[in-house]
Amino acid sequence: MMRTKKALDAQFAAEATLRIVHAAQKDDEMPPIEANIAPLEAELKMAGLEDKKKTLDQELAHARVSANRVAVVVANEWKDGNDKVMPVKQWLEERRFLQVFMDFC
């Protein structure tokens, strides 16, 4: 669908340029072709930037969801048997003990 829209946009831009050139030829006052193409190129560039922004926004949303999931896992690790959050010092000691135990196994 996006390719179709881009193709139609490009076709419309090309037709608009041809109309401008044709009208200028009738008047024998042909402006430089760059003057006609530059605004169209800028418009196409802006459309491309909007697509990139949309993609980056989606990637940012995915990263936020992942970060939130990691935060939930970490928060659950900090809870003791009674579902109370452990003090950092206690959590670090338990973590160290667990790592030492894992190294010996």
Q: What is the pLDDT of residues 41-56, one digit of tens each?
A: 888 888 888 888 999 9
CA distance 50 to 54: 6
From the number of C-beta atoms within 10 Å of its C-beta (0-12, 13-18, 19+), residue 72 rates as exposed
* pLDDT for residue 62: 92
Q: How does residue 95 score in pLDDT terms, banded at 50, 70 and 90?
A: confident
Give the chain's mean pLDDT: 79
Q: Please name the residue ranges forming H helices in the chain.
A: 2-27, 33-77, 88-104
Higher per-residue pLDDT: 73 or 78: 73
Residue 92 pLDDT > 90, yes or no? no
